[in-house]
Structure 1
Amino acid sequence: MSVTIKDIAKLAGVSHTTVSRALNNSPLIKNETKNKIKEIAKQLNYVPDISAKNLVTHRTFNIGLFFSTLNIETTPSFFNQTVKGVNSIIKDRYNLIVKGIDEYKDFRLITPKRFDGIILMSQTEKDDLFIYNVIEKKIPIVVLNREIKNDKVISILTDDKAASKQAVKYLIDNGHKDIAIILGKEGFKSTEKRRQGYFEALVENNIMINKEYIAQGNYDFKSGYIEMKKLLALSNIPTAVFCSNDDMAIGAMNAIFEAGLKIPEDISVMGFDDNGVSQFLIPSLTTVNRHIEQIGMEGAKTILEFVEKGNGNGMIRYMDAELVIRKSVKNII
């Protein structure tokens, strides 16, 4: 039989109302009493009744984790790392509800009666309508992966432009000048930022931009494979290709092997995201780790603080990305 608030109240010698307030960190309860009640609850392995707690606190105990989309454009590794990071912090304190914005015809169901707070892994400016709808309904929101300049929104992200610039610079430092890029999905902010980083690295190192080397992918294996085949059909094949995510890099590697070429002896390949599989490829993939799981964790910590303490002043927080050097890039100097 499960332990109830009344059981704790009986052992603590207080009313069940006092127990409820203590477990919800009410300032009306003295710290000494609060600590005593929490210790008894811990010893009894007390698990709060969420539905009862909702009535007392007027909260849903639901945190929404939204993605721009849950279809093929959100890769499994990106999705899994985000959910894992968020859930490791939320745990059993809240119900985690995972949704895609594109599942909603309108946003009437997004209300404070359904969500205490929302974490959005945003991939496109089309999400702005959703963001401002949430703000209008006064639901705390943290946006991951995009910079939102609004005093009601906390943004947590890596600087994709700087990270991709660092990746391409690594190829240049290894003697490469004929460097192609396979871009991500058109319209995604990450696609544009990584393209900008690629351009800046070339320009700052006095390398001419070759339009033939700019391929439009879609963040999936297939587009990496298809676009790499096009690059291999050029009269002047690039010596290196920077792929805007690891899934496309894996597709590109398959196209290279299929053409009878070797990596990195004939062509070097650089990825982006470090999706977990990349280290086990042959050769292992040199890439950029954005620490998506950690960004998810920071997003969860931030939304809980926002919901529970009201600390929600708008701010933009950048997290470091890391160049992960493995075996898919050859030094040709």
Structure 2
Amino acid sequence: MDTEKMDKTPMYQYIVNDIKRKIESGELKPHDPLPTQIDLAKEYNTSEITSRRALSDLVQEGYVYRIRGKGSFIQENMRAAAGSKPIHTIYFAHQNQISNFNHPFFSEMFDGIKDVCEENGVAFHLWDIGQHYELPEDPDAGIILLTIADTFDLSRLTAWQKEGRKLVTVHFYYPHLGIPYVIVDNLTGGYLATQHLLSLGHRRIGVIITGNSILEINQEFTLRLQGYRLALSQHQIAFDPNLIAIMSGEGERLEMGFEGFKKLMALEDPPTAIFATSDYKAIGAMEAARSLGMKIPEDVSVMGYDDVKVSQYTYPSLSTVSQNTRKLGERAAEILLFELKDGDGQLLKDEVVPTLIHRESTGPAPR
């Protein structure tokens, strides 16, 4: 391979031009891997700083994409060649939700977005759209959008589509609008939590869930409840609505779990295990168990959901479900940077599978 440079073009630009030439000639095809910056520096007899600069420029121009931990690859959708500007900034757009962002669901998702952005030389910021639904002025910015299903004005989504905004929604989704989305598979999460308790011999499993009624439960909790019912049906266990404690209120609070647990334990035939659909409710349920003189997990098992930081330090440590939201953030950013194609009517979507974490709060069903 002839990599001799005969003119006064800066070396990083020479590498950029040479790789573009190989792409245009077909020598490099979409998704082909490129050498590492170390190997690229050796190939062109230059420094790693120069090869890093070349790779960064190729990413910025839309010819190359990076996947964290795997390397650099030739872009399939040549934004630069097609005249469409590459994304230089990704915004996480929300509506007055910043007070909730300390929850690991969001903090880990932001880490995932940031990792992909840093790998590809893209800036990352939070953006509050406010009551007037104002997106950043940059029409080429990538938008990862968090909506609130009960209050969000869906006509704004349609308007942003018509403007050609580069959108991906997370957490909540609207397949009928054709907007790309990434979500956590809450049905599988609810199934995993319930199956874990069933595998320990529990047959009376209570659920503490947030909502105003069985018909007024939000999207994510509804799916977790569906996963619970699916696991029961596979074990030929009839669904008993008396085992569902529905707790109303804003946000997830210990009090919901405390009151929900006492309500379930007051049944004539109480459950031997509790699946609380958030860790905060689960921790409240554990406090209620202690107040009733019950031992965990000897008398009753308690299962949470979310894997908040404190769950590993409770006594006993809380079994829970991790939503793997770092991966959620990574996939949302990757879809914006690498997979969106102008004029392609195909709906892009991804579901991140949760992980069961077995700790000390769940054990065999009491005899």
Deviations 1:256-295 (A, max 9, x none): 2233322111211111222343233222222222211111
5 Å-filtered alignment, 1:167-206, equals: 167-184=193-210, 187-204=217-234, 205-206=236-237
CA, structure 1 residues 208+105, in 2 after alignment: closer, same or farther (shift >3 Å)?
Answer: closer
Q: Structure 1 45/291 Cα, relative in aligned 2: closer, same or farther at 3 Å?
A: closer
Deviation at 1:209, TM superposition (A): 0.9
State the Cα deviation string for residues 110-163 of structure 1 (Å, max 9, x = none): 155266111124563644444333322211122223443257522222321132
Deviation by residue 1:36-84 (Cα, 9 ceiling, x = unmatched): 99x67924986999xxx9xx99677321113465266666111111111
The answer to whether the Cα contact below 8 Å between 1:68 and 1:124 also exists between their aligned partners in 2 is: no
Aligned-partner Cα distance in 1 for 2:348–2:50:
40
Specify which of 189, 192, 213 is matched with residue 163 of structure 1.
189
Q: Take 2:219 and 2:266, find their aligned partners in 1: how far apart are those partners? A: 29
Distance change >3 Å, CA 312–CA 68, structure 1 → 2: farther
SS of 1:153's equivalent?
coil
Percentage of pairs with the same residue: 23
When the two structures are superposed, what TM-score results if normalisation uses the length of structure 2? Answer: 0.69
Whether 1:318 and 2:344 are equivalent positions in the alignment is no
SS in 1 for 2:165: coil
CA distance in 2, matches of 1:122, 1:164: 22
TM-score normalized with structure 1 length: 0.75
Aligned residues: 314
Tell me, yes or no, if structure 1 residue 110 matches structure 2 residue 140.
no
1:26, distance to aligned residue in structure 2 (A): 6.8
**Amino acid across the alignment from 1:166:** L
CA deviation vs aligned residue, 1:15-52 (integer Å, no higher than 9, x gap): 89x959959x8779989xxx899x67924986999xxx
Alpha-carbon distance, 1:87 to partner: 0.8
Out of 171, 187, 197, the position equivalent to 1:145 is 171
**Offset at residue 207 of structure 1 (A):** 2.8
Letter in 2 for 1:289: S
SS of equivalent to 2:295 = coil
Q: Is the 8 A contact 1:140 1:306 kept in 2?
A: no
Q: For 1:239-254, list aligned pairs within 5 A.
A: 239-254=272-287
Match of 2:256 in 1: 223
Tell whether the 8 Å contact from 1:84 to 1:296 is kept in structure 2 after alignment.
yes
Structure 2 unaligned spans of 5+: 1-5, 26-39, 62-82
> Could you tell me which amino acid in structure 2 is paired with residue 95 of structure 1?
A
Match of 1:305 among 312, 320, 338: 338
Q: Alpha-carbon deviation of 1:227? A: 2.8
| Corresponding residue number in structure 1 for 2:76 | none
1:225-255 CA distances to partner (integer Å, 9 max, x unpaired)?
3433443444544221111122221222223
